[in-house]
Amino acid sequence: MTASRTSITEMNSEELCSLYERLKSERREAIQTNAPAEFVLRAENELRRVGNQLRRRGL
């Protein structure tokens, strides 16, 4: 995420769910296209952060 974007703690639940789905898709695509390991790891870490935030909210 860039500095100009809203942090995940400030996103509403709908935005967070959309971001989670987009990140899942990006991670899947990165794995399928044999993207560099660093890219896949970054995608997985971001997906985990968003997933953790969703769980904190009980979603």
| pTM (predicted TM-score) | 0.79
- φ, ψ (nearest 5 deg) of residue 50: -70, -40
* The predicted structure's pLDDT at residue 1: 41
The set of residues, in sequence order, having a beta carbon less than 8 Å from that of 8 and lying 6+ positions away, is: 1, 16, 19, 49, 50, 53
- Per DSSP, helices labelled H in the chain are 13-32, 37-56
* The predicted structure's pLDDT at residue 35: 93
Show pLDDT as tens, one digit a residue, over the chain (59 residues). 444 467 888 899 999 999 999 999 999 999 999 999 999 999 999 999 999 999 999 98
* The predicted structure's pLDDT at residue 13: 92
* The predicted structure's pLDDT at residue 4: 45
